[in-house]
């Protein structure tokens, strides 16, 4: 059974159809790339799956159970965690506290939650920043902090919204390694990303959306050579 | 055990004044400070920790005051029970308000609380059967109470002093406990970023509604005390916007999300308010406002917050 099943997902903002009858699955243990030109509806899909937006129509099943209509915190507790395209750390709280708050979702005792947070921060390479304020981190560090925070909720599925946007090439490499490590630890990942080199390298499968509709779904090398995908990104030749 | 020592010091500071002076003006000033401490601390629970700026806390104050007065005057219920019930009724009133207003965020939330407070004030003004409307409610005699074999003297200020001191300490203790609890951590997360808080599994609406209820309880208690102490309430006295704003000022000037802040805020604003009133008969509020602006400009974390920071930075 797929981990996540999205069927005929539709979202209208007034007269604008941001997502249109979109269907895709995410299998356990895979990294699924979700790509498309700017404004294609990728972030909207994330907001729908995590409960920040309510679908106009369609179904979203996590391990066969619907999550439509649940508030975001309840969906997190069901096992879907996310990061944000524009980072949203808790700026005036310490790095450790940022992650401890997330660990509280399944670990009520503060001391154990803090230990857990420290372990996860080590996994993302922020073990030297425990006491810093989140606001004082670099963008790359803040993105890793968000991943740590999402992991601390103990998810089965992690939705990463442009975790590599704005990072330098070395940071991108580190981020790729981190995402692969997360999958190796048994967490499935859906990745929205514009850094094509990264997404080609680490995705098992790629779903391409354009104007809210799915235009391709398959292994990376097949998807990038798909004429429809090339047309969506570059336009069709006129002369 | 510095925490125990601090607690003992606070207790002594609070218990001793009536033994040193029987000057009614000084006791009245102390009672005023403690009442504002209670109200500032109550507002601080929601505004300081959760960052939800309410401009409508006079609602809970007025509801507490009227509950106490009405139960005593029309139901014959002794006002000390009435005060507790005033807090509880304020909690009940807070629940629908929270569920409605917390759908809004930031300034929209603040404006909605202002609107609710105005609605409640107008209801109190016009529901004459219950509230006596603009005429208000007056207590002429308080019931006789014996405490430790002595009849309490309601004309003296001492019993009121101990009553409000207990409430103020309770509100500070509640603040301290909240700051140590998981709910307190959740509130700080909500203050920092509500979406992010939801995304890590925090039920933000539940956390905010619970905190508003706690805040309303202490505010309602303060309202009940006000009714009992002044023996008179009318809508302009207990439902004004100025009251809500004063609560905000005390928490902000003292230091948001701190235990001690509201005491400092209450001491400063009460004494400075009195001082300006004495000096400048006309326009004393201008200077009061100027003082507020200076504090907010140069001590954005409030007096206690700023002092704590300076202490932490000492060489």
Residue B1 inside a domain? The answer is no
- Are A166 and A231 part of one and the same domain? yes
Domains in chain B: how many in total?
1
- Are A109 and A22 part of one and the same domain? no
- Are A225 and A196 part of one and the same domain? yes
Phi, psi of A192 (to 5 degrees): -95, 130
Q: How many CB atoms lie within 10 A of CB A140?
A: 18
Closest-approach residue (CA) in chain A for B203: A73
Q: What is the pLDDT of residue A237?
A: 67
Q: What is the pLDDT of residue A197?
A: 87
d(CA B244, CA B228): 20
- Are A24 and A96 part of one and the same domain? no
Please say which residue of A154, A172, A188 terminates a domain. A154
- Banded model confidence at residue B19, pLDDT cuts 50, 70, 90: confident
- Are A74 and A159 part of one and the same domain? yes
**144-173 in A: which are within 8 Å (CB) of B?**
149-150, 152-153
Comparing B17 with B230, the larger pLDDT belongs to: B230
- Are A159 and A238 part of one and the same domain? yes
Question: What CATH number is attached to the domain comprising A196?
Answer: 3.40.50.300
Query: Is residue A93 within 8 angstroms of chain B, CB to CB?
Result: yes
Give A102's contacts in chain B (Cβ within 8 Å).
Answer: 200-201
Residue A96 inside a domain? The answer is yes
Query: Tens digits of per-residue pLDDT, B246-291?
Result: 999 999 999 999 999 999 999 988 888 778 777 777 777 787 788 8
Residue B45 inside a domain? The answer is yes
Domain that holds residue B29: 24-241
Query: Is residue B290 within 8 angstroms of chain A, CB to CB?
Result: no
Put simply, the answer to whether B198 touches A100 (Cβ < 8 Å) is no
Residue B311 inside a domain? The answer is no
- Are A53 and A167 part of one and the same domain? yes
The pLDDT of A70-99, averaged and rounded, is: 96
- Banded model confidence at residue B142, pLDDT cuts 50, 70, 90: confident
Residue A84 inside a domain? The answer is no
Residue A185 inside a domain? The answer is yes
**94-113 in B: which are within 8 Å (CB) of A?**
none
Residue B160 inside a domain? The answer is yes
- Are A179 and A67 part of one and the same domain? yes
Burial class (CB in 10 A: 0-12, 13-18, 19+), A235: exposed
Query: Is residue B205 within 8 angstroms of chain A, CB to CB?
Result: yes
- Banded model confidence at residue A234, pLDDT cuts 50, 70, 90: confident
Average per-residue pLDDT for chain A: 94
Domains in chain A: how many in total?
2
Residue B12 inside a domain? The answer is no
What share of chain B in percent tops pLDDT 70?
99
Residue A86 inside a domain? The answer is no
- Banded model confidence at residue A239, pLDDT cuts 50, 70, 90: low
Average per-residue pLDDT for chain B: 90
Residue A30 inside a domain? The answer is yes
Cβ A165 vs Cβ A85: under 8 Å: yes
Give B193's contacts in chain A (Cβ within 8 Å).
Answer: 88-91
Query: Is residue B301 within 8 angstroms of chain A, CB to CB?
Result: no
- Are A204 and A233 part of one and the same domain? yes
The pLDDT of A219-224, averaged and rounded, is: 91
Q: What is the pLDDT of residue A238?
A: 62
ipTM of the modeled complex: 0.92
Residue A149 inside a domain? The answer is yes
Query: Tens digits of per-residue pLDDT, A158-199?
Result: 999 999 988 889 889 999 999 999 999 999 999 999 888 899
Q: How many separate helices (H) and strands (E) can be counted in chain B?
A: 16, 4
Domain that holds residue A239: 1-79+155-239
- Are A161 and A239 part of one and the same domain? yes
CA distances from A82 to A67, A152, A180, B196, B272 (A): 15, 11, 16, 9, 50
Residue B73 inside a domain? The answer is yes
- Are A64 and A176 part of one and the same domain? yes
Query: Tens digits of per-residue pLDDT, B293-314?
Result: 888 888 888 888 888 888 888 7
Residue A132 inside a domain? The answer is yes
- Banded model confidence at residue B96, pLDDT cuts 50, 70, 90: very high
Please say which residue of A118, A138, A154 terminates a domain. A154
Query: Is residue A97 within 8 angstroms of chain B, CB to CB?
Result: yes
Residue A203 inside a domain? The answer is yes
Comparing A56 with B142, the larger pLDDT belongs to: A56
- Are A58 and A12 part of one and the same domain? yes
Specify which residues A202 forms β-bridges with. none
Place of tokens 């992650």: A99
Please say which residue of A111, A132, A154 terminates a domain. A154
């Amino acid at each position: 059974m797929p981990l996540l099943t999205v069927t005929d997902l539709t979202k209208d903002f007034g007269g604008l159809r941001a997502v249109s009858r979109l269907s895709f699955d995410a299998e356990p243990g895979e990294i699924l790339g979700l790509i498309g030109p700017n404004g294609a509806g990728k972030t909207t899909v994330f907001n729908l799956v995590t409960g920040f937006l309510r679908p106009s129509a369609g179904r979203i099943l996590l391990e066969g159970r619907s999550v439509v209509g649940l508030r975001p915190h309840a969906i997190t507790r069901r096992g879907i965690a996310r990061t944000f395209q524009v980072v949203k750390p808790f700026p005036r709280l310490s790095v450790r506290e940022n992650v401890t708050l997330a660990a509280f979702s399944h670990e009520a005792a503060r001391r154990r939650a803090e230990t857990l947070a420290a372990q996860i921060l080590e996994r993302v390479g922020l073990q030297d920043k425990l006491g810093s304020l989140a606001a004082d981190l670099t963008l790359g560090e803040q993105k890793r902090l968000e991943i740590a925070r999402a992991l601390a909720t103990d998810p089965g599925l992690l939705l990463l919204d442009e975790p590599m946007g704005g990072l330098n090439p070395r940071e991108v490499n580190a981020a790729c390694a981190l995402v692969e490590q997360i999958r190796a630890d048994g967490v499935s990942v859906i990745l929205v990303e514009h850094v094509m080199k990264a997404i080609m390298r680490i995705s098992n499968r790629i779903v391409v959306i354009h104007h809210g509709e799915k235009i391709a779904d398959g292994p990376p090398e097949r998807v990038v050579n798909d004429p429809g995908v090339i047309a969506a990104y570059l336009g069709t030749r006129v002369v | 055990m510095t925490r125990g020592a601090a607690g003992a010091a606070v207790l002594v500071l609070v218990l001793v004044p009536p033994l040193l002076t029987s000057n009614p003006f000084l006791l009245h000033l102390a009672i005023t400070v403690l009442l504002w401490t209670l109200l500032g601390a109550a507002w601080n629970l929601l505004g300081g920790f959760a960052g939800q700026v309410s401009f409508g806390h006079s609602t809970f104050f007025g509801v507490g005051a009227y509950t106490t007065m009405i139960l005593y005057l029309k139901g014959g219920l002794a006002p000390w029970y009435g005060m507790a019930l005033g807090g509880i009724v304020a909690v009940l009133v807070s629940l629908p308000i929270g569920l409605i207003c917390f759908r809004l965020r930031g300034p929209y939330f603040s404006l909605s609380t202002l609107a609710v407070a105005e609605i409640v004030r107008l209801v109190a003004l016009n529901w004459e059967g219950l509230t006596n409307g603009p005429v208000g409610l007056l207590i002429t005699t308080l019931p006789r109470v014996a405490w430790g074999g002595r009849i309490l003297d309601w004309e003296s200020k001492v019993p009121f002093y101990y009553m409000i001191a207990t409430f103020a300490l309770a509100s500070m203790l509640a603040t301290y406990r909240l700051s140590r609890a998981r709910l307190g951590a959740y509130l700080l997360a909500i203050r920092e970023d509500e979406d992010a808080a939801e995304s890590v599994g925090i039920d933000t609406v539940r956390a905010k509604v619970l905190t508003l209820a706690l805040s309303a309880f202490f505010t309602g208690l303060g309202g009940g005390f006000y009714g009992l102490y002044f023996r008179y309430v009318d809508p302009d006295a207990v439902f004004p916007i100025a009251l809500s704003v004063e609560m905000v000022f005390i928490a902000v000037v003292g230091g948001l999300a701190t235990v001690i802040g509201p005491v400092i805020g209450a001491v400063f604003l009460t004494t400075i308010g009195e001082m300006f009133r004495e000096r400048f008969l006309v326009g004393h509020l201008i200077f009061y406002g100027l003082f507020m602006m200076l504090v907010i400009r140069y001590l954005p974390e409030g007096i206690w917050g700023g002092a704590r920071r300076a202490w932490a930075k000492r060489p």
